[in-house]
Amino acid sequence: MRFEHQVMAEIAEHGPMRFSQFVEAALYDADFGFYTTSGRAGGRQGDFVTSAEVGPLFAAVVADWLDGVWRSFGEPDVFRVCEVGAGVGTLFRGINRASPACFSALNYTLVERSASMQVAHQSLPSEAWKSGTAFPEQRQHVVMANELLDNLSFDIAERVTNGWALVHVGVVGEKLRLQVGPADLELNYLSGLAPDADCGTRVPVALQACEWVEHVRANADRVLAFDYAASTAELARRDQAGWLRTYFGHQRASNPLVDPGQRDITHDVPIDQLPPADEQHLQADWLNLHGLPERVEAARQTWTERAHIGDLQAMAARSAIGEAKALTDPTGLGAFLVLEWRGV
Ligand SMILES: C[S@@+](CC[C@H](N)C(=O)[O-])C[C@H]1O[C@@H](n2cnc3c(N)ncnc32)[C@H](O)[C@@H]1O
């Protein structure tokens, strides 16, 4: 409640705020932001489960991909990999556990904005990692991000009779409310992306995600991002409730203005608003291209041989088979997009 009052006081002083400003505060406010205080990925204790949190299989495939990139660069002695939005470091733990050939050269930086999650990095294994809040100064061979782009602050635009207008957060009768501003010429490019949108249709405007891709592409040789994403036209067809997501305690909640700071606010990333990717796959296809079927086959064999023993190896094998299903589920994680950009 205190945070809601803080937001209302700010609106009373400065007028309605851009939706991106509201999201920024709701997720990352120093005292009340969802990610600053409690929000985190994870199983029973988390608010949502990411591919990295499903189990170690995802990281094992990413580790194989890293090996491929390392080899394609001629096996450099120092292989700089940066993961942005690293959360509590689960992907790195899995890569360490998979022990890829490149591990001896690995110089891995976890960039995480939330101090409460960064604390968890202190217990990460090996000495191959560093942890920080800012992107490293040195050029990286690889930058990776799992479910970061959807968590960067975004605006909402609404189709109005004379173009597109930004949606702001205002106060009506002591309650936070979305309000549509005047048409804004700078948003006219949206008509090219969603030409069939009727008046009243809303789409996300992903300026921060676009800037992020531009920045890392200029500072790395490869960029790999996993996220839920679709074209702006597809998101326009779904309208706001179909692409604006809020999560709390694994439940998909609805109104983003309710209990700010208590829930995650995210969106399906409008991919055609980002610099065009050099490669784009569904997550299921990407995992299949990079060794998932071989790993699942090996797990099946182990399970067949050891199920009657019921030891740790047998349990890990059984778990990997279940993880593969979840990671490639066409109605869930398998439908995420994997976007790869080559550095510029
Ligand atoms: C949905 S979580 C994903 C966490 C992790 N990658 C995973 O897959 O489990 C998004 C994370 O990105 C972090 N984040 C958001 N903006 C960031 C930024 N500009 N720099 C670094 N981390 C950021 C958030 O604090 C949050 O931990």
Residues 34 and 179 in one domain: yes
State yes or no: pLDDT of 45 exceeds 90: no
Q: Is 198 helix (H, G, I), strand (E, B) or coil?
A: coil
Residues 195 and 296 in one domain: no
Does 74 fall in a domain? no
Total domains, the chain: 2
Ligand 1: residue whose CA is nearest its atom 1: 147
Does 320 fall in a domain? yes
Alpha-carbon gap, residue 268 to 271, rounded angstroms? 9
State yes or no: pLDDT of 134 exceeds 90: yes
Residues 307 and 179 in one domain: no
Does 159 fall in a domain? yes
Q: Which residues contact 249 (CB under 8 A, 6 or more apart)?
A: 47
Lowest mean pLDDT among 2-11, 101-110, 316-325: 2-11
Ligand 1: residue whose CA is nearest its atom 23: 85
Residues 166 and 259 in one domain: yes
Residues 188 and 297 in one domain: no
Does 311 fall in a domain? yes
Q: Are 61 and 290 in contact (CB under 8 A)?
A: yes
Assess whether the C-beta atom of 266 lies below 6 angstroms from ligand 1: no
Residue 1 binned pLDDT confidence (cut-offs 50, 70, 90)? low
25 vs 46, more confident: 25
Helices (H), the chain: 2-14, 19-28, 34-37, 51-54, 57-72, 90-98, 115-118, 189-193, 207-217, 232-238, 240-243, 283-289, 292-306, 312-328
Task: Work out the percent of the chain whose per-residue pLDDT is above 90.
Answer: 85
Q: Are 106 and 79 in contact (CB under 8 A)?
A: yes
Q: What integer is the mean pLDDT of 83-104?
A: 97
CA of 265 to the centre of ligand 1 (A): 12
Provide the pLDDT for residue 259. 87
CA of 40 to the centre of ligand 1 (A): 9
Ligand 1: residue whose CA is nearest its atom 16: 152
Residues 296 and 203 in one domain: no
State yes or no: pLDDT of 265 exceeds 70: yes
Alpha-carbon gap, residue 78 to 104, rounded angstroms? 8
Assess whether the C-beta atom of 24 lies below 6 angstroms from ligand 1: no
CA of 223 to the centre of ligand 1 (A): 16
Residues 203 and 294 in one domain: no
Mean residue pLDDT of the chain comes to 94
Alpha-carbon gap, residue 162 to 92, rounded angstroms? 49
Assess whether the C-beta atom of 333 lies below 6 angstroms from ligand 1: no
State yes or no: pLDDT of 42 exceeds 60: no
207 vs 253, more confident: 207
Residues 301 and 249 in one domain: no
Residues 33 and 178 in one domain: yes
Provide the pLDDT for residue 50. 93
State yes or no: pLDDT of 159 exceeds 90: yes
CA of 188 to the centre of ligand 1 (A): 30
Residues 26 and 161 in one domain: yes
Task: Work out the percent of the chain whose per-residue pLDDT is above 70.
Answer: 96
Residues 28 and 165 in one domain: yes
Residue 248 binned pLDDT confidence (cut-offs 50, 70, 90)? confident
Assess whether the C-beta atom of 84 lies below 6 angstroms from ligand 1: yes
Residues 200 and 264 in one domain: yes
Q: What integer is the mean pLDDT of 290-302?
A: 97
Q: Which residues contact 75 (CB under 8 A, 6 or more apart)?
A: 102, 105
Residue from 53, 84, 110, 148 to probe ligand 1 pocket by mutation (most atoms less than 8 Å from CB): 148
Lowest mean pLDDT among 155-164, 258-267, 291-300: 258-267
Please report the sign of the dihedral spanned by the C-alpha atoms of residue 187, residue 193, residue 198, residue 201.
negative
Does 259 fall in a domain? yes
Q: Is 78 helix (H, G, I), strand (E, B) or coil?
A: coil
State yes or no: pLDDT of 302 exceeds 80: yes
State yes or no: pLDDT of 44 exceeds 70: no
Residue from 82, 112, 263 to probe ligand 1 pocket by mutation (most atoms less than 8 Å from CB): 112
Does 198 fall in a domain? yes
Does 131 fall in a domain? no
- DSSP letters, 31-44, are TT-HHHHT--B-ST
Residue 47 binned pLDDT confidence (cut-offs 50, 70, 90)? low
pLDDT per position as a tens digit, 173-217: 989 999 999 999 999 999 999 999 999 999 999 999 999 999 999
pLDDT per position as a tens digit, 51-80: 999 999 999 999 999 999 999 999 999 999
Provide the pLDDT for residue 220. 98
Assess whether the C-beta atom of 240 lies below 6 angstroms from ligand 1: no
Provide the pLDDT for residue 139. 97
Domain that holds residue 318: 289-327
Q: Which residues contact 253 (CB under 8 A, 6 or more apart)?
A: 246, 247, 263
Does 185 fall in a domain? yes
